[in-house]
Structure 1
Amino acid sequence: MKIKFIGAAGTVTGSKTLIESNGIRLLIDCGLFQGIKPLRELNWEPLPVLASTIDFVLLTHGHLDHCGWLPRLVHQGFKGKIYCTGPTMEITKLILTDSAKIQEEDAKKANQENTSKHEIAEPLYTVEQAKKVFPLLTVVPLETTVGLDEGIEAVFIPAGHIIGACSISLQLEGKTLVFSGDLGRDNDVLLYPPTKPKKADLVFLESTYGDRLHADTDPKLELENYINAAFKKGGTVIIPSFAVERAQSIMFILWELKKEGRIPDIPYIVDSPMGVGAFQVFFNNTQWHKLSLADCQAMSKMFVINSDYQETLAAINNKGAKVVIAASGMITGGRVLSYLENYIGIPETTIIIVGYQAEGTRGRKLIEGAKSIKIFGNYYKVRAKIVEINSLSAHGDQADLLAWLSELKNKPHRVFLVHGEHPAADELRIKIRETYSVNCSIPLMGQEFDF
């Protein structure tokens, strides 16, 4: 058995782990690289093996950094099945379509304004190419053994994080390999706690927050204070957020605050082309989260959901106080850029960062105190107030990651730490060795292991 790390090794994006066993090749996740340019450029490179030789893809969940490279994989010749849960299939279709539209729009804008370094800017993939992924998506039942090939079985286990997200237990060659995917928190606002694995010979554990603990603060109170402070100044609040689950968590908290009369009666806008679709995923899958269908419907009525870009322009031109939730969560693209173009230079604006910001992203630069930021080829001075609410993160912190390993009945042969920057992964490696006396490794990009 060979295991090759071709993404999310030393970084939190581009999740891809290649497994080869008895002539079968399978890929755990197929994500897009985001952040610094050297990582983004990897999206244009082919895999180290021919896409046509990969038999299966198993998706842990539908975030772009876990599913966003699928159109390239299919375009390069992949014809196998892509296994995932029902909500993940719905989200993946939304995410890929939205990603393709953004890439087409960005390429068109770069060509019109001549801001590309290339003679002709091209999208990484088109909407048409994204849709070619859809027929290959295959829904698997939760916590049920699925036979992939002779001697290879998989079980999908709830992981929290976002709706439909799972860890994957893979049985092959008499070994149990467990891939955590992205792990949620035990006390998430909307989702149930991750299910802890009971047996694993090899563990592939995310380490996004491996070096820190989430602040023990009340995100509801923090949101209340930031919104009311901005309202008193007549300012706009912009919350960059992933369109699925994080946005709904923020909406849920705002809905509660509004019912309790703790925030003002101003427009609350979800600006996302897939906003309606994201709501529909929650409506369709109430067994995956803590809200009833009635609560989902009542909550949605509080918000204006912008799908058309003309609605975005109208919201931008209305300079009155408002709260806007817009993708993308790391400010790498999407409608949030249009808001920042117009509002980041206004001192009365408050930008609330609510999720992990990868190295090289605009979100990371903002929380690190950048004085100016580049958007669509132009630099804008940062005069807005930049604040961060760590306690709204969808990722488990160091304590959550350590606890996820606590119910293993055997000592794993090795734990691989992936999906984290090196300082975070190394700190978690030390903690795991201290706590469980387990051999722990941090693989490098492109590194291969034989078992």
Structure 2
Amino acid sequence: MKIQFLGAAGTVTGSKTLIESNGIRILIDCGLFQGGHELRQQNWEPLPVLPSTIDFVLLTHGHLDHCGWLPILVNQGFEGKIYCTSPSKAITQLILRDSAKIQEEEAEKANKEKYSKHNPAKPLYTVEEAEKVLPYFRVIQKDQEFNLDAEITARYFYAGHILGACSIELNLEGKKLVFSGDIGRDNDDLLFPAVKPKQADYVFLESTYGNKLHPENDPKEELAEYINEAYEKGGNIVIPSFAVERAQAVMYLIWQLKKAGKIPDMPYIIDTPMGIEMLQLFVENRQWHKLRIDQCEEMCKMFSMITEYEDTIAAIYDDQPKVVIAASGMLTGGRVLSYLERYIVRPETTVVIVGYQAEGTRGRKLLDGEKEIKIYGKYYPVEAKIVEIEGLSAHGDQKDLLEWLSELEQKPETIFLVHGETEALTTLQNEIEGKYQFRCEIPYQGQVVEIN
């Protein structure tokens, strides 16, 4: 058996792990690289194996860094099956269409305003190409073993993080491989705690927050403080948010604060068409989360929901104080950039960062104190107040990741740490080796491991 790390090795995004066994090729996740130019360039590079030779893709969940390369895989010849849970299928469809639409719009804008060095600028893939992925999906029930091949079985089990997200157990050649995907938090407001694996010969563990513990302070109180402070200054609160799960989690907290009378009467806007569609998925997938239908309906009533871009423009030029939740979460694209073009230069504005910011993204640059930010080829001085609420991440922290390994009945042969930046990977490696005496490895991009 050969395992090749084609993404999320030494970095957080671009998840792709290839398993080759007895002539069968299985790709766990097929994500986009996000972040700096060098990372994003890897999205244009071909895989070291022909997509037509890959038999199966198993998706852990529907975030862009886990599913966003699927249109390219299909475009380059993949004709196999893509397995995932029902919510993951729905979310992946939304994510791929949205990603393609944003890329088409940005390429068109770059060509019109001539700020790209590429002539003409092209999208990585089009909406039409994203649509071609859909017939390849096969929906799998969690906790039910299924056959990939006469000698290969797989099983999905609940991971928290976002709707439909699961870890994957793969049985082949007498070995049990467990891929964590992204692990949610044990105390998430909307989702249940992740199910822990009991047995594994090899574990592929995400390490996004491998060097961090989420703060003990209440993120709801922090949010109230920032909203009230900006309101008193007559400023706007802009919350860049991932459309899937994070936007709904922030809505939930704001709704609770408003019900308790802790934040003022003013417009509360959710401006992410995909985030709005996600609310319907919460209604349709009750068994995957904690929110009751009546709560969901009441929460939605307090928000103005923007889907049309004309309404986005109207909201941007309405200068009265308001709270806007808009995608994308790492400020790599999407409507949040249109708000920031107008508001980032104003000292009364507060930008509230509520999720992980990969190296090289605008979000990370803002957190690192960058004095100006480039949006659509223009530079804007950063005058707004930039704050971060760490307690809202959908990723488990170091404690959650260590706890996720706690029910393994026997010592795995190796734990491979993926989906993390260098410090997170090495810190988590030391913690796991110290606590459990498990053998840990940090694979590098492109590395091939042979398992006998």
TM-score, shorter chain, exceeding 0.5: yes
2:261 counterpart SS class: coil
2:210 counterpart SS class: coil
Distance in 2 separating the partners of 1:272 and 1:249: 14
Which residue matches 2:234?
234
C-alpha contact 1:275 1:306 (8 A) present in aligned 2: no
Letter in 2 for 1:394: A
Which residue matches 2:249?
249
Distance in 2 separating the partners of 1:30 and 1:280: 25
Which residue matches 1:151?
151
Letter in 2 for 1:203: V
Distance in 1 separating the partners of 2:75 and 2:22: 26
Which residue matches 1:269?
269
Which residue matches 2:11?
11
Query: Percent of aligned pairs with the same residue?
Result: 66
2:325 counterpart SS class: strand
Q: Give the length in aligned residue pairs.
A: 451
Q: Runs ≥4 in structure 1, deviation > 2 angstroms? A: none
Letter in 2 for 1:79: E
Which residue matches 1:311?
311
1:274 counterpart SS class: helix
1:124 aligns with 2:124: yes
Which residue matches 1:435?
435
Measured after TM superposition, the shift of residue 212 of structure 1 is 1.2
Measured after TM superposition, the shift of residue 365 of structure 1 is 0.5
C-alpha contact 1:57 1:82 (8 A) present in aligned 2: yes
Which residue matches 1:409?
409
Distance in 1 separating the partners of 2:293 and 2:214: 30
Question: Mapping of 1:199-214 within 5 angstroms?
Answer: 199-214=199-214
Measured after TM superposition, the shift of residue 289 of structure 1 is 0.6
Distance in 2 separating the partners of 1:308 and 1:47: 37
C-alpha contact 2:270 2:276 (8 A) present in aligned 1: no
Which residue matches 2:162?
162
Measured after TM superposition, the shift of residue 273 of structure 1 is 2.3
1:22 aligns with 2:28: no
Which residue matches 1:419?
419
Distance in 1 separating the partners of 2:292 and 2:441: 42
Distance in 1 separating the partners of 2:305 and 2:78: 36
TM-score by length of 2: 0.99
1:195 aligns with 2:213: no
Question: Mapping of 1:39-438 within 5 angstroms?
Answer: 39-438=39-438
2:402 counterpart SS class: helix
Return 5+ residue gaps in structure 2 as ranges.
none
Return 5+ residue gaps in structure 1 as ranges.
none
Measured after TM superposition, the shift of residue 276 of structure 1 is 2.8
1:155 counterpart SS class: strand
1:373 counterpart SS class: strand
Measured after TM superposition, the shift of residue 164 of structure 1 is 0.6
Letter in 1 for 2:127: V
The superposition leaves residues 120-146 of structure 1 with CA deviations (integer Å, 9 ceiling, x where unpaired) of 000000000001111111110010001
Letter in 2 for 1:36: G
Distance in 2 separating the partners of 1:299 and 1:137: 32
The superposition leaves residues 302-340 of structure 1 with CA deviations (integer Å, 9 ceiling, x where unpaired) of 111111111110000001100000111100111011011
Letter in 2 for 1:294: D
Measured after TM superposition, the shift of residue 241 of structure 1 is 0.5
Distance in 1 separating the partners of 2:421 and 2:183: 16
Distance in 1 separating the partners of 2:123 and 2:130: 12
